């Protein structure tokens, strides 16, 4: 990957929400590059700021409730400097979004074929007949059986899995170069989830689209993503290639998350539990390491005031001054590591 | 003596239509199922959305009426016994609900929510009641100052603990846990699952664990029943189901679990493709001509599958 292949470059993005006349950042000085033809997963627990991030890129936040600063470079322009009219030309054409709940994303009163054509109507000069033809093609592309028939059906006549395929069909109708998929399979059964995962991977291979995959499910990430970015209280705490990350997670939060999942390997063991809860936006302590209140037995002398995201091996970034000190054993218990192993920075 | 057993249970919901709202058809939510719970075990009901898991659970605790069949507990058929008998046995089977966000009454304090079953079933003095509620709240790891707060002031995991505390107050023998962690994040999920294992040991509980997450089921359950459209397609021990699945539907479910090990991905994608093809092509091996499920046949002493 070289700099030429960067499709989206998020620079110092801060998105703050208003709560009782004060603004609190839900994304705090975020930096992330998304390359062409790449799936990057944004992972983290409920409320950590994943959707806020996706919505910032799509320009979907209400202006009265939200303050945004930083830059979102996309194909040479800064999306944050765009007017609504300019954004409308990008949204649905160059960048599109897939939402968690297919029912709320679809118009219940319009046949699905017409919903797929909406974007084409706005963004292309295709004739009515051509649009219909294309919509049917897209329906078969997302593996809908009998596409001609389904074209004229209403959302309520379709199963949950079919509806999510329609949402995907709408998203890919104008062949965008970036898709933001916010929990695209969370509302679905496992068998349907598996098929949607395989479908999205195939579409990416064929159309060379990049996908920002927002999810809290590490299994889904492992199956789909090339890279993974772990978010905690509005900051990335670890970024790395999926394979490498899963074999060798570095940040204590990442390690803890992986050990809290039931798996073949930890059968019969108690699962790892992170103490405490994720603080809400207006109660978050923003000084120092934000994960510190969730850790036990950390040694103040080896902590930096505020850890920054550092590249510790090629393409692997971590926001923690002493990650080597934190290990979890096969019984999902925290063990004390060697102090001299502590990472000292550059 | 059998501890708990469900025999030929059917639950049909009427579909009404026409101007007279006559019953025109039925949804066969549960269609002739049999299973047994052994004392102290965790038995899983697994299957896709709408296959009848919740309906089974609700019928067992008496929230939904059985259309036919028996629910045997303490040698009594719960579908047929009188009010007094029902009252006495019902307190021994409690349910924890699917969604911690909507299953607790938002207008009641946590204290009143947890005390409610006690008030319904036991004549305790105020101080005895308080003692019991505090004890179970402490057991589920909730602090004393949370007693007089309202559900919306808690996280999903805390609410699920309140639901469990409430189910525990009558010291039941069986707990029906309907997707107890599906709405929770991984770290909170871990907390609730660990906790359920702890109290199972401490109180000698038997769980009917309803879930569609086969990863969690493998972690928690001794025996598993796989449901498909209101019927069982397979039943067996954890090893039977995960190491030697017989029905294509079970194999399809297992192949769908997202694989964390990246080295396995090509395999799992291929496996899913093959199973999908077999599912389409060799349908007649697993389903009757009208698409219905076959009867269960024994594969071993512990293992049953709906095959020809
Ligand atoms: N009160 C009701 N009236 C009519 N039909 C119902 C009722 N409750 C459930 N059903 C139907 O019965 C079937 C089984 O429903 P049930 O809630 O038991 O499914 P489930 O397996 O628990 O699904 P999920 O995984 O989505 O919770 C479904 O087809 C459902 O639509
Ligand atoms: N419109 C809003 N107004 C105020 N706070 C919000 C708003 N949207 C989200 N938040 C808060 O911002 C944080 C991040 O939210 P979100 O991005 O939705 O999380 P995620 O998608 O990771 O679950 C949470 O604390 C959430 O409560
Ligand atoms: S910097 Fe210290 S407190 Fe923060 S995550 Fe790392 S080890 Fe934990
Ligand atoms: Mg979200
Ligand atoms: Mg249910």
In a domain, A57, yes or no: no
Enumerate the H helices of B204-264 as residue ranges: 214-220, 238-243, 248-255
Helix H or strand E encompassing B297: strand B297-298
In a domain, A285, yes or no: yes
Can you give the pLDDT at residue A45?
Answer: 87
Q: Which residue has the tokens 């393409």?
A: A315
Mean pLDDT score of chain A: 89
Q: Tell me which residue of A37, A40, A41 sits closest to A5, measured CA to CA.
A: A37
More confident residue, B85 or A290: A290
Minimum CA–CA partner of A253 in chain B:
B187
What does the DSSP 8-state code read for residue A143? T
Restricting to A residues 240-299, those with a Cβ less than 8 Å away from any Cβ of B are 242-243, 246-247, 256-258, 260-264, 266-267, 270-274, 277
> Atom 2 of ligand 1 has which residue's CA nearest to it?
B13
Point out the ligand 1 atom lying closest to the alpha carbon of residue B57. 18
Q: Tell me which residue of A266, A216, A329 sits closest to B215, measured CA to CA.
A: A266
Summarize the confidence of residues A276-288 as an average pLDDT.
85
Asked whether residue A300 carries a pLDDT value surpassing 70, the answer given is no
Which residues does a 6 A CB cutoff place in the pocket of ligand 3? A 252, 289, 291-292, 295, 298, 303, 307, 320-323, 326
Q: B28 exposed, middle or buried (CB, 10 Å; 0-12, 13-18, 19+)?
A: middle
Q: Residue B254 sits in which domain range?
A: 4-305
For the CA atoms of A234, A237, A241, A246, what is the dihedral angle to 10 degrees?
-110
Point out the ligand 2 atom lying closest to the alpha carbon of residue A281. 25
Last residue of a domain, one of A173, A194, A218: A173
> Atom 16 of ligand 2 has which residue's CA nearest to it?
A49
Contact B249, B233 (CB under 8 A): yes
In a domain, A201, yes or no: no
C-alpha–C-alpha distance, residues B110 and B284, integer Å: 53
Residue pLDDT, tens place only, B5-60: 999 999 999 888 777 888 888 889 999 999 999 999 999 999 988 899 999 999 99
Assigned token pair, A60:
């979907």
> Atom 1 of ligand 3 has which residue's CA nearest to it?
A320
Can you give the pLDDT at residue B187?
Answer: 81
Residue pLDDT, tens place only, A130-144: 999 999 999 998 989
Least confident among A129-133, A334-338, B220-224, B233-237? A334-338
DSSP string, A267-318: TTSPPP---S-PPPGGG---SS-TTGGG-SS--GGG--SS---EEEETTEEE
Confidence label for B158 from pLDDT (cuts 50, 70 and 90): confident
Can you give the pLDDT at residue A2?
Answer: 66
Q: Out of B256, B262, B273, name the one closest to residue A190 (CB).
A: B256
C-alpha–C-alpha distance, residues B307 and A333, integer Å: 44
C-alpha–C-alpha distance, residues A149 and A111, integer Å: 11
Helix H or strand E encompassing B10: strand B4-17
Assigned token pair, B177:
């846990």
Minimum CA–CA partner of B259 in chain A:
A219
Residues lining ligand 4 (ion), CB within 5 A? A 51
Cross-chain residue pair B262–A271, CB shorter than 8 Å: no
Last residue of a domain, one of A128, A147, A173: A173
* Count of domains observed in chain B: 1
Is residue A43 lining ligand 2, measured as CB closer than 6 Å?
A: no
Contact A238, A319 (CB under 8 A): yes
C-alpha–C-alpha distance, residues B152 and B109, integer Å: 10
Q: What are phi and psi of B10, to 5 degrees?
A: -125, 135
Can you give the pLDDT at residue A339?
Answer: 41
CATH of the domain at B223: 3.40.50.300
Q: Which residue has the tokens 């020809």?
A: B308
Cross-chain residue pair A198–B272, CB shorter than 8 Å: yes
Confidence label for A343 from pLDDT (cuts 50, 70 and 90): very low
CA angle B247, B286, A146 (to 5 degrees): 110
More confident residue, A145 or A70: A70
Instruction: Find the A298 Cα to ligand 3 centroid distance in Å.
Output: 7
Assigned token pair, B294:
């076959």
Q: What are phi and psi of B225, to 5 degrees?
A: -115, 130
Instruction: Find the A50 Cα to ligand 4 centroid distance in Å.
Output: 6
Q: Residue A282 sits in which domain range?
A: 250-336
Enumerate the H helices of A124-185 as residue ranges: 128-141, 147-151, 160-172
In a domain, A64, yes or no: no
Instruction: Find the B53 Cα to ligand 5 centroid distance in Å.
Output: 6
What does the DSSP 8-state code read for residue B40? T
Confidence label for A337 from pLDDT (cuts 50, 70 and 90): low
In a domain, A154, yes or no: yes
Q: B50 exposed, middle or buried (CB, 10 Å; 0-12, 13-18, 19+)?
A: middle
Mean pLDDT score of chain B: 90
Last residue of a domain, one of A155, A173, A191: A173
B141: contact with A, CB 8 A cutoff? no
Provide the strand spans (E) within chain A: 6-19, 22-35, 39-43, 66-74, 77-78, 95-98, 178-182, 210-215, 227-232, 235-241, 310-313, 316-318, 326-328, 334-336
* Count of domains observed in chain A: 2
Residue pLDDT, tens place only, B112-127: 999 999 999 889 999 9
Give the bridge partners for A229, in sequence order: A42, A239
Is residue A254 lining ligand 2, measured as CB closer than 6 Å?
A: no
Asked whether residue A188 carries a pLDDT value surpassing 50, the answer given is yes
C-alpha–C-alpha distance, residues B268 and A26, integer Å: 37
Summarize the confidence of residues B62-66 as an average pLDDT.
91
Assigned token pair, A19:
């709560």
Pairing of strands B174-178, A178-182: unpaired
Contact A16, A67 (CB under 8 A): yes
Distance of CA B207 to the CA centre of its chain: 8
């Amino acid at each position: 990957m070289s700099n030429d292949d960067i499709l989206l470059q998020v620079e110092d993005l801060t998105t703050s929400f208003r709560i009782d006349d004060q603004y609190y950042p839900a994304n705090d000085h975020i930096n992330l590059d998304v390359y062409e033809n790449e799936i990057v997963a944004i992972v983290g627990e409920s409320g950590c700021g994943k959707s806020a991030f996706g919505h910032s890129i799509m320009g979907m936040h209400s202006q009265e409730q939200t303050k945004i600063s930083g830059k979102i470079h996309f194909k040479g322009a800064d999306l944050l400097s765009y007017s609504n009219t300019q954004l409308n030309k990008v949204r649905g054409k160059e960048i599109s979004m897939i939402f968690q709940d297919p029912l709320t994303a679809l118009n219940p009163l319009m046949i699905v074929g017409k919903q797929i054509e909406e974007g084409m109507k706005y963004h292309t000069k295709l004739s009515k007949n051509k649009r219909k033809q294309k919509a049917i093609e897209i329906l078969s592309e997302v593996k809908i059986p009998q596409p001609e028939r389904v074209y004229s059906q209403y959302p309520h006549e379709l199963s949950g899995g079919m509806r999510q395929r329609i949402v995907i069909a709408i998203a890919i109708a104008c062949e965008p170069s970036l898709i933001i998929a916010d929990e695209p399979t969370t509302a679905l059964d496992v068998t349907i989830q598996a098929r949607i995962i395989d479908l999205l991977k195939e579409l990416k291979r064929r159309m060379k689209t990049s996908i920002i995959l927002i999810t809290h499910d590490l299994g889904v990430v492992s199956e789909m993503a090339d890279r993974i970015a772990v978010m905690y209280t509005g900051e990335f705490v670890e970024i790395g290639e999926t394979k490498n990350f899963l074999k060798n997670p570095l940040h204590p939060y990442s390690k803890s998350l992986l050990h809290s999942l039931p798996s073949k390997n930890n059968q019969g063991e108690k699962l790892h539990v992170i103490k405490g809860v994720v603080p809400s936006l207006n109660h978050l302590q923003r000084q120092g390491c934000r994960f510190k209140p969730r850790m036990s037995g950390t040694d103040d002398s080896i902590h930096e005031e505020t850890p920054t995201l550092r590249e510790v091996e090629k393409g692997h970034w971590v926001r923690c001054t002493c990650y080597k000190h934190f290990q979890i054993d096969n019984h999902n218990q925290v063990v004390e590591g060697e102090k001299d192993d502590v990472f000292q920075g550059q | 003596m059998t501890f708990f057993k469900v025999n030929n249970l059917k639950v049909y919901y009427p579909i009404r239509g026409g101007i007279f709202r006559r019953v025109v058809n039925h949804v066969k939510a549960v269609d002739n199922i049999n299973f047994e719970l052994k004392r102290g075990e965790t038995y899983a009901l697994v299957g896709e959305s709408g296959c009848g898991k919740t309906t089974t659970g609700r019928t067992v605790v008496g929230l939904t009426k059985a259309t036919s069949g028996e629910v045997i507990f303490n040698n009594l058929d719960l579908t047929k016994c009188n009010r007094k008998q029902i009252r006495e046995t019902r307190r021994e089977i409690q349910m924890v609900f699917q969604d911690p966000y909507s299953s607790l009454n938002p207008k009641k304090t946590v204290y009143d929510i947890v005390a409610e079953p006690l008030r319904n079933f036991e004549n305790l003095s105020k101080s005895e009641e308080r003692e019991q509620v505090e004890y179970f709240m402490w057991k589920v790891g909730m602090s004393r100052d949370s007693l007089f707060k309202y559900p919306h002031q808690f996280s999903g995991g805390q609410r699920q603990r309140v639901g469990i505390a409430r189910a525990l107050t009558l010291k039941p023998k069986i707990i029906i846990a309907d997707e107890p962690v599906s709405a929770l994040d991984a770290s909170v999920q871990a907390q609730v699952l660990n906790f359920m294992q702890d109290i199972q040991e401490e109180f000698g509980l038997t769980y009917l664990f309803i879930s569609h997450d086969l990863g969690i089921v493998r972690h928690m359950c001794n025996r598993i029943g796989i449901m498909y459209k209101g019927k069982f397609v397979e039943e067996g021990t954890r090893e039977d189901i995960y190491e030697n699945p017989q029905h294509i539907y079970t194999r399809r479910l297992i192949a769908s679990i997202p694989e964390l090990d990246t080295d396995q991905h090509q395999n799992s994608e291929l496996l899913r493709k093959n199973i999908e093809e077999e599912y389409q092509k060799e349908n007649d091996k697993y389903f009757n001509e009208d698409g219905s499920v076959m009867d269960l046949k024994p594969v071993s002493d512990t293992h049953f599958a709906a095959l020809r």
